[in-house]
A and B are shown apart, each in its own frame.
Chain A
Amino acid sequence: MDLENQARIKELTEKHGADNLVVILGGAEAEASGLACETVTNGDPTFAGPLAGVQLGLACYHILEPEVKNEVDEDVYDEQVSMMEMVLDVDDIIEETKKYREMYSEYAE
């Protein structure tokens, strides 16, 4: 995950509180989505960025996950996401994001 974005997520967590901040991903691939989820929950696994060794434990979901999709207005979701939903490997992306969330997120419901 981009080092600048790691710094922004860290700042936002300090500002709003880890229990109040949710990260939503739009990653095209399962592995990258899982890595981003791991970074905002358990810290940067590459130990390169500001979140190295920082366990924020944030709630983190992919936009394709039903937990998020079900809360979004159906027409808006269709317009903005359904095209990519057809071409992306939805099951793998969900599985990988969920794996890290369940392991490391302290604030996911």
Chain B
Amino acid sequence: MLDGKKVAILGDRDGVPGPAIKECIETTGAEVVFTTTECFV
């Protein structure tokens, strides 16, 4: 599902932050093209 895809990450300061998601996605064969950690509130 993710292999070969470009991935944009919208992390959350109070949930799972962007850098943590990035570490995960980089193990899937997808390329992370954008990472941010926003406050959804």
**A residues neighboring B (CB under 8 Å):** 1-2, 5, 8-9, 12, 16, 20-29, 32-33, 35-36, 59, 63-64, 67-68, 71-73, 76-77, 79-81, 84, 88, 109
Contacts and interface: CB of A to CB of B under 8 A. Distances in A.
10 contacts: A12-B8, A21-B6, A23-B8, A26-B15, A26-B21, A27-B10, A28-B12, A80-B21, A80-B23, A88-B15
A71 B23 CA distance: 13
Interface residues of B, number: 31
Shortest Cβ-Cβ A-B pairs, 10 listed? A28-B15, A26-B16, A32-B40, A73-B27, A26-B11, A80-B20, A28-B14, A72-B24, A16-B6, A71-B28
